[in-house]
């Protein structure tokens, strides 16, 4: 079993010794638990590239708005510990709220103003402040050499990269490609909310990416035309309640009028009462999907 730490001071002591006295490299995978194949891939990458792998499991309240799913977010530490053991994780950090936001916490916040209010930020205005604040706190606890983030949350990855660059944080951010179920649905802890019928409709997200890629392959480069066709296709499925956005941007999240290889399609929508996000990197026409 990996060592389980609940207190900041305990994991700091443990890591201090490994880093300073023994010169070990530290890989870090921050998570909110209920680990799935996507997390497993982050962990595998970390164990390959570092001497020690630390996984944090913490459902961070400050990144949820009051109307969101903080209370019902799935939690199962025992199951997560078993997965971490299977993958040779060295230490799990699973702090309490009191440990991360102790009494007297001054509501200090980290913000990347350029990126926090677009796309996801339009619908979840305080989300990324919560994410960045906890990620920086976790970085300060673990002080990793490398930290692993999934491309599934593409805007989160870009914002974390920007924070690290702007604040000169000495950690290397390693992006890891989205892991999909065999039928194309992106792995997410929130997939457990979907009924079988809703899950079937949620596949329209991945299929709309294939449709967009095919349009691009056939020479359609106008972002508006591609987005319109994706929208039409997705909305032809039952249980799709609302599309929050479909956007096509360059790799740094700037909107594009004409699509090129390497651009991103980002999408957020509601299937029943579940909000899903996903994204797709436009590939060269000859790429095998």
Residue whose CB is less far from ligand PAF, 31 or 208: 31
Instruction: Please check whether residue 25 is in contact with residue 46, taking contact to mean a CB–CB distance below 8 angstroms.
Output: no
Report CA torsion sign: 171, 254, 267, 178: negative
In whole angstroms, give the CA distance from residue 264 to residue 256: 9
Closest contact distance (angstroms) between CB of 86 and ligand PAF is: 20
Active-site position among 39, 127, 237, 239: 39
Site string for ligand PAF, 114-153 (x = CB under 6 A): -----------------x--xx-----------------x
In 37-79, DSSP assigns E strands to 52-57
Closest contact distance (angstroms) between CB of 31 and ligand PAF is: 5
Closest contact distance (angstroms) between CB of 107 and ligand PAF is: 17
- Known catalytic membership, residue 39: yes
3-state secondary structure of 256: coil
Residue whose CB is less far from ligand PAF, 137 or 264: 137
Residues 151-170 close enough to bind ligand PAF by CB under 6 A: 153, 156
Classify residue 273 as exposed, middle or buried by CB count within 10 Å of its CB (0-12, 13-18, 19+): exposed
For ligand PAF, the binding residue among 30, 38, 95, 144 (CB under 6 A) is: 30
In whole angstroms, give the CA distance from residue 253 to residue 188: 22
Closest contact distance (angstroms) between CB of 73 and ligand PAF is: 10
Q: Which tokens hold the place of 279?
A: 């994204």
Closest contact distance (angstroms) between CB of 259 and ligand PAF is: 27
Classify residue 261 as exposed, middle or buried by CB count within 10 Å of its CB (0-12, 13-18, 19+): exposed
Site string for ligand PAF, 210-239 (x = CB under 6 A): ------------------------------
Could you tell me which stretch among 25-33, 191-199, 231-239, 280-288 binds ligand PAF (CB under 6 A)? 25-33
End-to-end CA distance of the chain: 37
For ligand PAF, the binding residue among 31, 191, 204, 208 (CB under 6 A) is: 31
How many other CB atoms are there within 10 angstroms of residue 103's CB atom? Answer: 5
Residue whose CB is less far from ligand PAF, 6 or 232: 6
Non-local (6+) Cβ contacts of 4 within 8 A are 81, 91, 92, 94
Could you tell me which stretch among 26-34, 112-120, 172-180, 250-258 binds ligand PAF (CB under 6 A)? 26-34
Residue 8 binds ligand PAF, judged by CB under 6 A: no
Nearest Cα residue to 92 out of 173, 167, 10: 10
Q: Which residues are designated catalytic?
A: 39
Positions touching ligand PAF (CB under 6 A) are: 30-32, 60, 63, 131, 134-135, 153, 156
């Amino acid at each position: 079993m990996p060592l389980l730490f609940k207190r900041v001071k305990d994991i700091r002591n443990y890591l201090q010794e490994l880093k300073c006295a023994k010169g070990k490299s530290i890989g870090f995978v921050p998570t909110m638990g209920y680990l799935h194949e996507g997390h497993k891939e982050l962990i595998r990458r970390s164990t390959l590239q570092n001497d020690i792998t630390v996984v944090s499991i913490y459902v961070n309240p400050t990144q949820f708005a009051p109307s969101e799913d903080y209370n019902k977010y799935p939690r199962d530490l025992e199951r997560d510990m078993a997965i971490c053991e299977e993958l040779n994780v060295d230490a799990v950090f699973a702090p309490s709220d009191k440990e991360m936001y102790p009494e007297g916490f001054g509501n200090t916040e980290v913000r990347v103003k350029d990126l926090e209010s677009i796309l996801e930020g339009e619908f979840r205005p305080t989300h990324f402040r919560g994410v960045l604040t906890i990620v920086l706190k976790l970085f300060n606890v673990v002080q990793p050499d490398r930290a692993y983030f999934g491309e599934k949350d593409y805007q989160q990855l870009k914002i974390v990269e920007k924070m690290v660059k702007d604040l000169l944080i000495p950690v290397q951010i390693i992006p890891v490609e989205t892991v999909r179920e065999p039928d194309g649905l992106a792995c997410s802890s929130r997939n457990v909310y979907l009924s079988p019928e809703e899950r079937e409709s949620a596949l329209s997200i991945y299929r709309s990416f294939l449709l967009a890629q095919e349009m691009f392959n056939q020479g359609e480069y106008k972002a508006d035309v591609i987005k319109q066709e994706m929208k039409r296709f997705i909305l032809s499925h039952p249980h799709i309640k609302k599309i929050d956005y479909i956007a096509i941007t360059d790799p740094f999240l700037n909107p594009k009028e004409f699509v090129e290889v390497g651009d991103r399609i980002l999408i957020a929508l509601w299937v029943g009462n579940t909000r899903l996000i996903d994204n797709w990197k436009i590939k060269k026409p000859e790429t095998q999907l």
